[in-house]
């Protein structure tokens, strides 16, 4: 029997060894693959709807947790009350209205994608004025993100560049603009929390 050389290569795939038998007769040359461990099941192919929905979920978690972190007795806080020398916070939104504004804007931006009507009493970007308590406002906020998930679910590769009824923007732009707008006001909520000595939940050390 002709002697050969056995060469072992570690390929780019973890746990896979490539063994070749060199200098043997062509009929006996072989390539063997051995995989260690069980094979992972294939991951589902992401869709435009699932990708946008994931962005909405991540933002929803940050905004809702930040809103919940502000105590009820400080929910109407505004930096104007601090009288910071040289600052000009006159007329800015309170923390409560910041949260209502995010929710109201979510409805204005995302409802064209689903065709749903605005909530009763919503006439402008600050939301229904009758929502005053922390619980009422956070419930309004959560409902607006639920709308966002329904809006994301309507997106397809066929319709994402189309404009919904009564809008000049594409469906994809509206879906993503809702995320971008809420991110802007989340940043302002963070500042309001820190002005009151509260570390935003998303910025707190993760438990070990």
Instruction: Convert 103-144 into a string of H (helix), E (strand) and C (coil).
Output: HHHHHHHHHHHHCCCCCCCCCCCCCCCCCCCHHHHHHHHHHH
- The CB density around residue 28, as the number of other CB atoms within 10 Å, is 10
Q: Is the pLDDT of residue 32 over 60?
A: no
CATH architecture of 48-201: Up-down Bundle (1.20)
Q: Is the pLDDT of residue 118 over 70?
A: yes
SS3 (DSSP) at 38: coil
CA distance 187 to 105: 16
Contacts of 184 (CB under 8 A, 6+ apart): none
In DSSP terms, which residues pair with 33 in a beta bridge?
A: 18
Give 155-192 as a DSSP string. Answer: --TTTTTSPPTT-SS-HHHHHHHHHHHHHHHHHHHHHH
DSSP code, position 162: S
CA distance 192 to 104: 19
What was the pLDDT predicted at 38? 53
Q: Is the pLDDT of residue 103 over 90?
A: yes
Mean pLDDT of 91-100: 96
Residue with the bigger pLDDT between 53 and 35: it is 53
Residue with the bigger pLDDT between 30 and 80: it is 80
What was the pLDDT predicted at 107? 97
What was the pLDDT predicted at 208? 72
Could you tell me which of 180, 171, 198, 176 has the C-alpha nearest to residue 77? 198
DSSP code, position 198: -
Q: Is the pLDDT of residue 34 over 50?
A: no
User: pLDDT tier at 4 (50, 70, 90 boundaries)?
Assistant: very low
Lowest mean pLDDT among 38-42, 50-54, 119-123: 38-42
Read off the pLDDT of residues 173-206 as tens digits, 9 standing for 90 and up: 999 999 999 999 999 999 999 999 999 999 988 8
CA distance 109 to 182: 11
Q: Is the pLDDT of residue 29 over 50?
A: no
Q: Is the pLDDT of residue 17 over 60?
A: no
What was the pLDDT predicted at 165? 86
Q: Is the pLDDT of residue 23 over 60?
A: no
Residue with tokens 């939104």: 93
Q: Is the pLDDT of residue 134 over 80?
A: yes
Mean pLDDT of 167-177: 94
- Residues of the chain with pLDDT > 70, as a percent, come to 80
pTM of the model: 0.77
Q: Is the pLDDT of residue 16 over 60?
A: no
CATH 1.20.120.450 domain range(s) in the chain:
48-201
The CA distances from residue 204 to 69, 190, 197, in Å, are: 12, 12, 13
- Give exposure, 71-92, as e/b (b: 16+ Cβ within 10 Å): eeebbebbbeeeeeeeeeeeee
Could you tell me which of 161, 181, 180 has the C-alpha nearest to residue 171? 161
């Amino acid at each position: 029997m002709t002697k050969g050389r056995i060469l072992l290569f570690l390929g780019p795939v973890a746990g896979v060894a490539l063994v070749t038998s060199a200098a043997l007769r062509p009929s006996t040359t072989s390539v063997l693959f051995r995989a260690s461990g069980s094979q992972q099941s294939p991951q589902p192919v992401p869709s435009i709807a699932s990708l946008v929905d994931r962005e909405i979920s991540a933002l929803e978690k940050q905004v809702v947790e930040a809103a919940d972190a502000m105590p009820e007795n400080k929910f109407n806080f505004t930096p104007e009350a601090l009288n910071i020398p040289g600052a000009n916070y006159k007329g800015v939104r309170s923390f409560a209205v910041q949260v209502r504004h995010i929710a109201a804007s979510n409805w204005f931006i995302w409802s064209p994608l689903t065709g749903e009507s605005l909530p009763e009493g919503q006439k402008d970007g600050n939301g229904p004025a009758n929502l005053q308590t922390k619980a009422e406002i956070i419930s309004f906020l959560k409902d607006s993100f639920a709308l966002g998930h329904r809006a994301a679910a309507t997106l397809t590769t066929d319709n994402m560049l189309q404009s919904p009824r009564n809008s000049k923007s594409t469906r994809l732009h509206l879906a993503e603009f809702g995320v971008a707008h809420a991110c802007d006001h989340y940043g302002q909520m963070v500042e309001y929390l820190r002005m009151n000595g509260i570390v935003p939940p998303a910025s707190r050390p993760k438990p070990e």
